[in-house]
Amino acid sequence: MYPLHPCWSCCCLLLFFSLGVQEVPKEPSAAPEQIHLSYSGEPGSMTVTWTTWVPTDSEVQFGVQLTGPLTFRAQGTVSPFVDGGHLRRKLYIHRVTLQGLLPGIQYVYRCGSTQGWSRRFRFRALKNEPYWSPRLAVFGDMGTENPKALPRLRRDTQQGMYDAVLHVGDFAYDMHQDNARIGDAFMRLIEPVAASLPYMTCPGNHEERYNFSNYKARFSMPGDNEGLWYSWDLGPAHIISFSTEVYFFLHYGRHMVERQFHWLERDLQKANENRANRPWIITMGHRPMYCSNADLDDCTWHESKVRKGLFGKLFGLEDLFYKYGVDLELWAHEHSYERLWPIYNYRVFNGSREMPYNNPRGPVHIITGSAGCEERLTRFTLFPRPWSAVRVKEYGYTRLHILNGTHMHIQQVSDDQDGKIVDDVWVVRPLLNRMMYL
């Protein structure tokens, strides 16, 4: 061993010190990050949710002028969230609901506290009445790695193409991974979209860990059920989000299946009482009742738990949704896009052979889970069943334009083909007698 020259050790120390300084993680920081919006379900509202690494106040400053001072202020709450991983990382989740927003008006906001503010973001307040034409981006299964749809979604968002996003389960892959750092990375990744548009969600199987704790903590959905199931009105539509996962992770409580089922039935009854006002009933849930992918998933087999319920008979949803005349059922989980002919109990109920989606006599199903994740795309079986109308094994997402109470436009965007529309269909139903499929 040679003693080091004093200068050497000095250099080493300096080097070590400077590396050390660079390696100090961003946390703990009072600066807001992972900023995203959601609709609270109350007319004229919007909820802003974000994360800090130390407890701070929760304030949103907002206004209608693009530059200059932000004249309005709203306060909210902060709640600590401790991830279940061995590091027990602690996040502070802030929630502020803005109220009294003027419908259709664009707002500028920033969030944080005197200890640190976010940059400014913009959003448009949702309109409350039924007579307008909302546009949605719909997809599931988007991860932190390989999120193929995200760049285009971001451009679409900047161009003001949408009023809301529906993310139909499976986020980040998975939010709890690496002591929930993957969840942080994902929430930062979607911020350019989710801080500008209400980002509405439902849980998928990838959120299951620690009883869906990351999902429940990070999102702020309408109602008081931790975002597991809820509904909201958007223009001519009533949108119901629910958890297919209650059928699969029974160790978190079989009572969840029953509670959700009864809530769904009650909500569908209320939606039908209000159907003259909001004619469309749209559901979103993660695992589909039908699919024709070549994997071992539930829908590949004849008795899907979501469709037929536990033991093939308890709390199945196909009968319920059919009985209450649900128009459109949005699913994901399979990493592909599939559209079905109007269907009930494996039978196709086209409106007519020429115009299957004009006065369909059963719900229309769309499975859209190809936004991109580390698991890549899912193959289809060689021979589709007669109920499968269109199958696309390409990365992409769905655009849903709810034109008015009778006309709805569905398009599938392919990211593999640089934004080309690879499926395009109108669903048309009469204004009245929507509850019964006959």
Ligand X SMILES: *[C@@H]1O[C@H](CO)[C@@H](O)[C@H](O)[C@H]1NC(C)=O
The footprint of ligand X (CB under 6 A) covers 211, 226, 228, 252-253, 341, 348, 350, 353, 356, 403-407, 431
Dihedrals phi, psi of 186, to nearest 5 degrees: -65, -45
- From the CB of 344, what's the least distance to Fe ion, in Å? 24
Residues within window 156-195 making contact with Fe ion, judged by CB under 5 A: 170
Closest residue (Cβ) to Fe ion? 333
Contact 229, 264 (CB under 8 A): yes
- Report d(CA 302, CA 304) in Å as an integer: 6
Question: What is the spatial distance between Cα 334 and Cα 351, in angstroms, rounded to a whole number?
Answer: 27
Minimum distance, C-beta of residue 115 to Fe ion, in the bound complex (Å): 38
Q: Could you say which of Fe ion, ligand X, none residue 189 binds, taking C-beta under 5 to 8 angstroms by partner kind?
A: none
Could you give the 3-state DSSP secondary structure of residue 187?
Answer: helix
**Binding site partner of 249, from Fe ion, ligand X, none, Cβ cut-off 5-8 A by kind:** none
In terms of CB distance, is 224 or 418 closer to ligand X?
Answer: 224
Site for Fe ion in 320-359 (CB under 5 A): 333
**What is the bridge-based pairing of β-strands 199-201 and 164-167?**
parallel
299: tokens are 């829908």
Instruction: Provide the 3-class DSSP secondary structure of residue 210.
Output: helix
**Of 29, 128, 133, 205, the one binding Fe ion by CB under 5 A:** 205
Integer Cα distance of 198 and 38 in angstroms: 4
Q: Does residue 300 interact with Fe ion by CB under 5 A?
A: no
Give least dist CB 193 to ligand X, A: 27
**How far is it, in rounded angstroms, from Cα 28 to Cα 248?**
37
Using rule CB under 5 A, residue 89 touches Fe ion: no
CB of 271 to ligand X, least distance (A): 18
Q: How far apart are CA 388 and CA 386, in angstroms?
A: 6
How far apart are CB 260 and ligand X at their closest, in Å? 11
* Residues in 255-294 at the binding interface with Fe ion, rule: CB under 5 A: none
Least distance from Fe ion to the Cβ atom of residue 269, Å: 29
Number of chain positions touching Fe ion (CB under 5 A): 4
CA-nearest of 45, 64, 435, 93 to 270 is 435
Q: Which residues pair with 372 in a beta bridge?
A: 142
Distance CA 165, CA 183 (A): 18
Nearest CB to Fe ion, comparing residues 60 and 202: 202
CB of 169 to ligand X, least distance (A): 16
Q: Is 204 in the site for Fe ion (CB under 5 A)?
A: yes
Return the axis-axis angle of helices 177-194 and 150-158, rounded to nearest 10°.
30
Which residue, 96 or 348, has its beta carbon nearer to ligand X? 348
Binding residues for Fe ion, per CB under 5 A? Answer: 170, 204-205, 333
